[in-house]
Amino acid sequence: MTERQRLLPGEVAHQDFEAGYIALSYAVSYIGSVTTLELLNRRTGNRGWYNWSLLVASAISMGSIAIWGMHFIGNRAIILDYGVESHQLIYNSSFTALSFFLPIVVLLTAYMFIGTSEDVSIVRVSVGGTTAGLAIVLMHYLGQFGITNYTSVYKIPFVVGSVIIAILASNVALLIFFVSRSRWAGTWWKRIGCSFVLAGAVSGMHWLATVGTNYRLRNAALPKSTLDRKQTVIVVGTLCVFTCTCLLAYAIIAGTRARQMVTKVRKVTLSAVMFDPDGRLMVSTSGTLPTEVITDTLNSLLDQEFSKEHPVFLWFYRVSRSWTGVKDIVSGMQKHLRHIDLKKIGTEEQSELNIVFRELLCVAAKKLSEQLRLPMENLGALHDDILHTSSNSRSRVNTPVGPSDIERLRKISSSGRGQTLFVYREVTRDEAARLQSHGYRFASVKVATDVVARSLQVPRDVLTEHFKDMRDASQIESILEPGVHIGCFACRANIDGGFDVLVQKLQPNLVPSVQLPVSTLTDELKQIIQSLHGMTLRSVSRTLEMKQNSASGFERSCIGEIRSAVRALTKAYPDTFWQDAVFSSIPVSMPCRSGNEEVEHATAQMFVFRTIVPIHQRELSDGIRIAPFDFFTTQQRTFSTSRDHEVFARQIHTEFSGLSERYTLPPSSSGIPARLRALFGMSGRPSTAEKTLVENPFANIMISQAVDVHSAKTSMEIHELDTLRTTGAAVVVREVEEPTWAEEYFHLLMSKPRSP
């Protein structure tokens, strides 16, 4: 090289570019961008170390990899002065470090401003996108300022163009990302597309600015602390390798979770459905419901007979409405289950199988509450239906199954059908904020249902109906208002066995009824109602009309109120079979909503028309539907004001106390030496009761018995079941629950008809 060709201080260096490093710089920017969006996608709120760690990590990923790393790898592609090694770009360490941290701080501010709300604010996203774009520009020119052996000469049009590209592309990428995220449409390929745009913002700005930049050689000695081109590539390359490793680890974990979810939908599971006060549904960052597996060993059996009529489901339905009765003994259940081989459970008796499954249900509920970091009593109530999951599900068979059929049923389980039970409730705003800080999101039910339906492999419309029912039930308890009511109680034989009861369509735990416009019964109303005893609804309507025409004054007003209520009842439920329903003048006391907090157990009074619906009567009016009788009677014991919660809790503790004591308490004589035991006549041999308990772990378990409404004896033909009140008899240490009003009226229907 001649003296004339050598670059002199003050001269502008000739520029060339290496295509390989240009491509590498874009790849580095893309890796940082896709990592950033993935981390932002997993944020669920502004509280908690989980969300703050994701926020900081996303700012670091974007600032250090996508922007800082891309800049220095990109500048490595610049070849100055025809490749003379001593004339290539060299950077000052202090400015290089400052250019690393400054965009991270700016981006952290931008992402905090955007927030995590499911309702996308165009203004907030635009401000955040503009700030992110300015962070890209700031880092670029700060890094350029750290070049020690050249002075950068900029062309103003290219500077302005690079700023516009950085801001515009950043806004487009973030807007697309957050809009798709809010609609739960942010699938992996959409995040990849947004990452391409975001990386394009960084690369586009960089290369437009680079083309508009000339480098003039300085007449100054180089500082001792500098980073040459090789060192720059090593530092940036190390950061990129670390990021790639993190992405690979995340991909493996995500794939494992996806496979686990596919496996879960083929088992019996318990999922939590939580609504915030605005009606939004809580899901994980991947769009699934918090779920715990109850069992897979018993799936073949449960797939055949487990339904809302099963005694175990009815038991768990009551437990979920009074978790305090079982939360203290779950640890004993867990220890008991560890001593049971579930693979051989089919060889046990059916009663023992039900006990084990009840324990599995309670343990799954406990694990679910721990997953949500909520007390077990705040887990929510069990939904009154079971969702059958997995797309290759077969038709359900309701044929009862005995223990001898278990092996045959286990062979059927390969079809992959699963069942999901739901517990639901509406959380407070403080609880919603805490759940968000633990990594959960609240999205609108409409947009979240698609993702949840895919994860459960069920039709969207089926899941939508379940969510609607649970949302309605979580807002306000379905219970009678205080006062006097007139209702209809009707049963119909089920072709598969047993009986169904007709209930309100929107409030299936209540029979069709209307409320009288009075708070209490007056003597005049009592006399009028008693005069209608034993009449059919058709006769009652005619009698009231005649009495109202002949009465006067206050009596006429009372008759009019009763007549209006009867007409409203027949108008709301215009089925013809109600006309033959027989009226009872004996009021039924039912739980009701208490207007006074000091009233522990409130009741309402209802006068009932009762009838048996012909089995061939299949069409019903829009306001009513059928429900299994056993399930309906269980619902009558689960109102918040019911006295049965206390009795039920004592029954649970009595039934499972043997398990709890055996597996939670140490042996009483474990701390006494053998010689002392022999001295005081304390034998080391177990007693007969202890030996029985060791040989049979179910020896100290008291099996609960359901009331058989088909065979119970009654004396109602004389005094209407003694005004529909019975006295519970104590059986040793166990308290027996009184029959519900529905069971009493069922007996009345099954008894011989009486003449008016």
pLDDT at 522 (0 to 100): 84
Beta bridge partners of 746: none
Burial letters 207-233, b for 16+ CB under 10 A, else e: bbbbebbebebeeeeeeeebbebeebb
Angle at CA of residue 469, ends 262 and 619, nearest 5°: 110
Residue range 484-635 forms a domain whose CATH class is alpha beta
- Ranges of residues in the chain whose predicted pLDDT is under 50: 1-4, 185-186, 225, 299-304, 391-415, 597-598, 664-719, 725-734, 754-756
Closest to 55 measured CA to CA, from 42, 69, 64: 42
CB proximity list for 739: less than 8 A, separation 6 or greater: 707, 712, 726
Contact 585, 532 (CB under 8 A): yes
pLDDT at 569 (0 to 100): 92
Beta bridge partners of 283: 441
Write out 342-395 in H/E/C secondary structure. Answer: HHHHHHCCHHHHHHHHHHHHHHHHHHHHHHHCCCHHHCCEECCCCEEECCCCCC
What whole-number distance in Å separates Cα of residue 611 and Cα of residue 406?
40
User: Which residue pairs, CB below 8 angstroms and at least 24 apart, start in 548-554?
Assistant: 554/524
Contact 437, 272 (CB under 8 A): no
CB proximity list for 128: less than 8 A, separation 6 or greater: 110, 111, 113, 114, 174
Domain range annotation of the chain: 15-256, 265-475, 484-635
pLDDT at 418 (0 to 100): 79
What whole-number distance in Å separates Cα of residue 354 and Cα of residue 189?
46
Joined together, the tokens standing for residue 317 give: 């339905």
Pairing of the two strands 418-426 and 268-275: parallel
